[in-house]
């Protein structure tokens, strides 16, 4: 067991696994080995209980009612906002906007900048992005006629920082980059990128969907303008996420959607908007999701992010050593400065076929382009198999996984 640096609890993986009901099930007659955590993490009983409690005891719409259930739901929802504010160290709770997830958060910002950019402006996006941090900016540039430039990547799966410096000479208005690549696990130097962007007057948005399960970002220390993530990557439910934005930017951006909750006064002649963060939260939100997201953040903090990162790094190194003994193995991305993701191919075997066969052994991995087609095009491949580990996975599971790959390779060769 390990003692966390940011928690007084001890880390015992076997005890922690008992918190996750799904880890005790079988798939195709074999014990489930879940290595698709970069797509969606699993949910502990402590969070499931919060979801059940909401629908069993105080299911009600929020902010609108004087009755007891509405007040209870409102208090719990706003408590979750404060939990999120504290976790990310936002200066104000109203700098946390609840959304349906990372994609929604990015589109909210992109929509807001549609009225702030012109055809003479340039925006930068990195070559390592998920499609969710590419397509909205392409759509924004189509609307505004602004120019989209790409920060290139290197053969080892990192960003070309010299090229970034050169692109900053264009004085871009906006920069978009993920904290960690979902396809390769690359940890990008966002502190340096944020500082350099600000020196040329650019705002910067960080896609933290892949980072937040492993790292505890401090948005004030980063001095980031926008930071986005999803609950379902952090042991929470799907359909909920957050946009952190500096208060000054939230005042500048127009509302993303119109409707109830985001208004102050409505007449047929004119509508005025509510204060922050409600200006960006039109309609009935995912109330239960927001509350459960707060519970998931509390759960992960009870384990401790230093402990999580340390243990997952052990899993990454162990799996990498084991997998590199397999004939024909090719692992993509950096050897260092990465999180617990291994994107790989085996010579002569299609990733889809490999994933299908090891699923019969109860092993869940992701195959394909991982919504990162430009990365696959860069390497000249159709896709990869991807194993992604979480703090509830074990070295014993990795052993079974490696043997499963060997077995599949024998069948497919």
> Is residue 272 pLDDT above 90, yes or no?
no
Cis ω before 83 (30° cut-off from 0)? no
Torsions phi, psi of 70, nearest 5?
A: -65, -40
Q: For the residues 291-309, what does the mean pLDDT come to? A: 97
Q: What are the extents of the domains in the chain?
A: 2-44+304-408, 48-301
pLDDT digits (tens, 9 = 90+) for 248-271: 999 999 888 776 666 677 667 777
Could you tell me whether strands 174-178 and 203-207 are parallel, antiparallel, or unpaired per DSSP bridges? parallel
pLDDT digits (tens, 9 = 90+) for 308-354: 999 999 999 999 999 999 999 999 999 999 999 999 999 999 999 99
Could you tell me whether strands 174-178 and 122-126 are parallel, antiparallel, or unpaired per DSSP bridges? parallel
Cα–Cα distances (Å) from 133 to 19, 179, 193, 244, 296, in that order, read 33, 12, 16, 16, 25
CATH architecture group of domain 48-301:
3-Layer(aba) Sandwich (3.40)
| Tokens of residue 379, six digits | 């390497």
DSSP string computed for 69-120: HHHHHHHHHHHHHHHHHHHHT-S-GGGEEEESSHHHHHHHHHHHHTTT--TT
Q: For the residues 228-243, what does the mean pLDDT come to? A: 98
Burial of 68 per CB tally in 10 Å (0-12, 13-18, 19+): exposed
| Tokens of residue 89, six digits | 């160290």
Q: Are 250 and 277 spatial neighbours (Cβ–Cβ below 8 Å)? A: yes
pLDDT digits (tens, 9 = 90+) for 125-161: 999 999 999 999 999 999 999 999 999 999 999 999 9
Burial of 324 per CB tally in 10 Å (0-12, 13-18, 19+): exposed
CA distance 364 to 389: 11
Number of helices (H) and strands (E) in the chain: give both, helices first: 14, 19
Residues identified as active-site: 371
pLDDT for the residue 183 = 96
pLDDT digits (tens, 9 = 90+) for 2-13: 444 444 445 799
- Decide if 2-44+304-408 and 48-301 have a common fold: no
Closest CA to 73 of 56, 88, 91: 56
Helix locations, 239-385, DSSP H: 247-252, 287-303, 305-323, 351-359, 373-379
Burial of 30 per CB tally in 10 Å (0-12, 13-18, 19+): middle
Q: Which residue has the tokens 């939100």?
A: 285
Any long-range contacts for 135-139 (C-beta under 8 Å, 24+ apart)?
136/106, 136/107, 136/110, 137/110, 137/174, 137/176, 139/110
| Tokens of residue 262, six digits | 């985001």
CA distance 178 to 233: 14
Cβ burial 166-177 (10 Å sphere, 16+ → b, else e)? ebbeeebbbbbb
pLDDT for the residue 257 = 76
| Tokens of residue 338, six digits | 């990465």
pLDDT digits (tens, 9 = 90+) for 191-203: 999 999 999 999 9
> Is residue 82 pLDDT above 80, yes or no?
yes
pLDDT for the residue 254 = 87
Q: For the residues 238-256, what does the mean pLDDT come to? A: 95
pLDDT for the residue 266 = 66
CA distance 333 to 347: 17
Closest CA to 47 of 232, 286, 309: 232
3-state class (DSSP) for residue 68: helix
CA distance 146 to 123: 7
pLDDT band at residue 19 under the 50/70/90 scheme: very high
Mean pLDDT for the chain?
94
- 2-44+304-408 under CATH 3.90.1150.10, yes or no: yes
3-state class (DSSP) for residue 330: strand
pLDDT for the residue 7 = 40
Closest CA to 385 of 412, 393, 394, 27: 412
Q: Which residue has the higher pLDDT, 259 or 383?
A: 383
Q: Check: pTM over 0.75? Answer yes or no.
A: yes
pLDDT band at residue 358 under the 50/70/90 scheme: very high
């Amino acid at each position: 067991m390990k003692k966390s640096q940011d928690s007084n609890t001890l880390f015992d993986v076997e005890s922690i696994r008992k918190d996750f009901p799904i880890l005790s099930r079988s798939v195709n007659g074999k014990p489930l080995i879940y290595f698709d955590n970069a797509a969606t993490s699993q949910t502990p009983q402590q969070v499931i209980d919060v979801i059940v409690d909401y629908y069993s005891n105080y299911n009600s719409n929020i902010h609108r009612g004087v009755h007891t259930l509405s007040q209870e739901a409102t208090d719990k929802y706003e408590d979750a906002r404060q939990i999120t504010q504290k976790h990310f160290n936002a200066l104000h709770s109203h700098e946390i906007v609840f959304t349906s997830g990372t994609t929604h958060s990015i589109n909210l910002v992109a929509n807001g900048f549609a009225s702030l950019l012109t055809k003479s402006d340039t925006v930068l996006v990195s070559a390592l992005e998920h499609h969710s941090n590419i397509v909205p900016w392409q759509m924004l540039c189509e609307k505004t006629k602004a120019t989209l430039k790409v920060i290139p990547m290197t053969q080892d799966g990192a960003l070309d920082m010299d090229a970034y410096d050169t692109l900053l000479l264009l004085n871009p208005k906006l920069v978009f980059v993920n904290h960690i690549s979902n396809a390769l696990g690359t940890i990008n130097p966002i502190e340096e990128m944020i500082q350099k962007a600000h020196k040329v007057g650019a705002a910067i948005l960080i896609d933290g969907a892949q980072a937040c399960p492993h790292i505890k970002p401090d948005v004030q220390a980063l001095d980031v303008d926008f930071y986005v993530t999803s609950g379902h990557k952090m042991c929470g439910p799907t359909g909920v996420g957050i946009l952190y934005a500096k208060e000054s930017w939230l005042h500048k951006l127009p509302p993303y959607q119109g409707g109830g909750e985001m208004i102050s006064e409505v007449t047929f002649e004119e509508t005025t908007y509510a204060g922050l963060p409600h200006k960006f939260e039109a309609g009935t939100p995912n109330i239960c999701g927001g509350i459960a997201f707060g519970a998931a953040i509390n759960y992960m903090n009870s384990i401790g992010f230093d402990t999580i990162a340390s243990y997952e790094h052990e899993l990454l190194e162990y799996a990498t050593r084991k997998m590199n003994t397999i004939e024909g193995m090719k692992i993509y991305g950096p050897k260092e400065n990465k999180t617990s993701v291994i994107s790989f191919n085996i010579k002569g075997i299609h990733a889809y076929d490999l994933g299908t066969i090891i699923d019969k052994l109860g092993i869940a991995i992701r195959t394909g382009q991982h919504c990162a087609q430009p990365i696959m095009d860069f390497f000249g491949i159709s896709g990869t198999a991807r194993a992604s580990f979480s703090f509830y996975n074990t070295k014993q599971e990795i052993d079974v996984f490696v043997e499963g790959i060997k077995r599949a390779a024998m069948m497919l060769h």
